[in-house]
Structure 1
Amino acid sequence: MPFLNVNTNIKISAAEKPQLLKEVSTLIAQHTGKPESYVMVHLHDEQTMLFAGSQDPLAYLECKSIGLSKNQVQALTKTLSHYLSTSLKLNPARIYIEFSNAPAELWAWNGATFG
């Protein structure tokens, strides 16, 4: 049920994408306590984006899950920012992350909702 949508103006090579997706998926599972079999990650690279009046490298992430706690959000913020700054050479000050706590009755999988 956790979903991470990653948007960046950086070009990520086809060879690097599977590893990035897998590592981010694992991080999301670890920090949410959800099975990785429920985690979905979508990567949009080479997007036309502007932040603070500049097209320098940047990223915007949307993370949705059922039952996100304040502690999980803080840990995910730190972990995802560190991972992206290391793997994509992004300045953490050029990364926005939006978190959404989805009600279980409004999140569905395999033909049924979670609540």
Structure 2
Amino acid sequence: MPCLYITTNVNFDGVNTDPFHSEVTGAIASIVGRPQNLVMVVLKGSIEIVFGGNKEAAAYAEIVSMGGITKQVKRELISTVGSILHTHFSIHPSRFIFKVFDMTSLPLPSKL
């Protein structure tokens, strides 16, 4: 069950974000190999972000998944989500930071 969480300084007042949600949900499902009904997307706008010393459009995102993350998948996620953010909200890929985390990479708890 992948969860994509995006925080940006872009203001979404009066913006229909449905096309973004639809496109990014489909892309995540396809890339990670999970059904769309198990993909969660959280989008928070109007957050104060200063990147590179200025307040131009920027975003921080992270995705947490239970499996399905390889080096190739990680590269594809970063590229695709960055492209979708640029298309829908004019956030240039160079102003986008993406953290990718696979829950299955955690060490198993000790059974002491």
User: Offset of 1:103 from its aligned partner?
Assistant: 2.1
Output the amino acid matched with 2:66.
I
Q: Name the TM-score, length of structure 2 as normaliser.
A: 0.86
Alignment match, 1:37: 37
Alignment match, 1:79: 80
Gaps of 5+ in 2: 107-112
User: Offset of 1:49 from its aligned partner?
Assistant: 1.1
Q: How many residues align?
A: 105
Alignment match, 1:112: none
Output the amino acid matched with 1:75.
E
Gaps of 5+ in 1: 106-115
Q: 1:62 to 1:11 in 2, by over 3 A?
A: same
Output the amino acid matched with 1:55.
K
User: Offset of 1:104 from its aligned partner?
Assistant: 8.7
Alignment match, 2:59: 59
**RMSD between aligned residues:** 1.7
Q: 1:15 to 1:91 in 2, by over 3 A?
A: closer
In structure 2, what is the Cα distance between the partners aligned to 1:46 and 1:94? 16
In structure 2, what is the Cα distance between the partners aligned to 1:59 and 1:36? 23
Alignment match, 1:27: 27
User: Offset of 1:13 from its aligned partner?
Assistant: 3.9
Q: Name the TM-score, length of structure 1 as normaliser.
A: 0.84
SS in structure 2 of the partner of residue 103 of structure 1 = helix
Q: 1:12 to 1:74 in 2, by over 3 A?
A: same
